[in-house]
Amino acid sequence: MIITVNGERLDLSRYNSFHAARYDQTIDLVRSMDGGRTIELGGHPWTMTARLLSEPSVDLIATVSAEEVTAWPDDIPVTANPYTMELPDGTSQDWTNISANLERTLFPIDSAGGENDGADLVLACEIIEHLTRSPHIMLLNINSWLKMGGRVILSTPNGSQFDNPLRTKPKMPAYRYSQYARHNYVFTMDILCDLAETCGFEVEYTTYWSPYRRTGLAKLYRVMSRLPGTYFKNLFAQSIVLVARKIEDRETASRIPRAYAPAADWERIEGVGTSKRHELELTR
């Protein structure tokens, strides 16, 4: 895949090929929900964005992708910038990218506000595992952008999948130049569903995917993941996926999610005190 974004030519063929099966499954899921007004989180390097811009059922009203990924991007400002992409078929599409830290700042998206103008769908695919501190803040942001009844698609690596017993290397990925360039947490299906439910969502659908090529004896994992029931899927599928519907407006999580350590100073959690130095500002 070769695209041009804001005048810069990008050859993303290798990256697109690696993720192609997951992209195809995601687009099929989007089509099953009739697309609509859509926000994509973590658009960079724009390969999935290119597919969304080419999808007739999708009106991509914004992407949210940090443009200032420094070594410790704790409080990057919220900015909205115009983007233009020349797609592989030669056509051009415009959209707006919001640069922000999704787990530190609550912020509106101008084109996704109000009961009638809210987004129909938010894609948060392979994002949540990169967050380091407060993933419920990301979900509260999503809640604020969606219209009532709007949906979010969440996908992330399967935290309960069977590990190679012959592995001699650490299971966690290597340290990177940025804290957000590596996977920082792995979710199981029940923990991910619980997190969504604390932020005003009702889980409608869950599934397991194995979109990445395996080699050697690990090829058997794909076969095992297709056996009936959830037991083998939990153990052998590569990714977990859920679709959740917004059922209430929330600016705070209803309780401490099961993924979190009990503490007295979580921000934006109902009934939990917040120290002033961690207090979030609602950016207008």
Residue 283's pLDDT is 42
- CA distances 207 to 184, 223, 237, Å, are 22, 16, 10
More confident residue, 192 or 226: 192
In the predicted model, is pLDDT for residue 219 greater than 90? no
Per DSSP, the residues of 26-65 read: HHHHHHHTT-EEEEEES-TT-HHHHHHHH-TTEEEEEEE-
Six token digits for residue 253: 């999580």
The distance of Cα 117 from the centroid of its chain, to the nearest Å, equals 22
Residues contacting 6, CB < 8 A, separation 6+: 83, 84
Q: Could you tell me the domains of the chain?
A: 12-278 (3.40.50.150)
The residue ranking higher by pLDDT, 113 or 61, is 61
pLDDT of residue 155: 96
Q: Are 259 and 195 in contact (CB under 8 A)?
A: yes
Average pLDDT over residues 91-120: 84
d(CA 99, CA 148): 25
Q: Are 146 and 152 in contact (CB under 8 A)?
A: yes
Predicted pLDDT of residue 284 = 36
* Alpha carbon distance 233, 216 (integer Å): 19
CA separation for the pair 225, 181 (Å, rounded)? 28
pLDDT, greater one: 61 or 163: 61
Task: Give the pLDDT confidence of 182-218 residue by residue, as tens digits.
Answer: 777 889 999 999 999 999 999 999 999 999 888 887 7
As to burial, measured by CB atoms within 10 angstroms (0-12 exposed, 13-18 middle, 19+ buried), residue 95 is buried
Residues 48-105: tens digit of each pLDDT: 999 999 999 999 999 999 887 665 556 678 999 999 999 988 899 999 999 998 988 8
pLDDT of residue 70: 60
How confident is the model at residue 277, as a pLDDT? 38
Residue 275, pLDDT > 70, answer no
Backbone φ/ψ region at 53: left (φ over 0), alpha (ψ -120 to 50), beta = alpha
Query: Residue 117 carries which side chain, given as an amino acid letter?
Result: D
Record the tokens describing residue 255, joined without a space. 């309780």
Q: Does pLDDT of 268 surpass 80?
A: yes
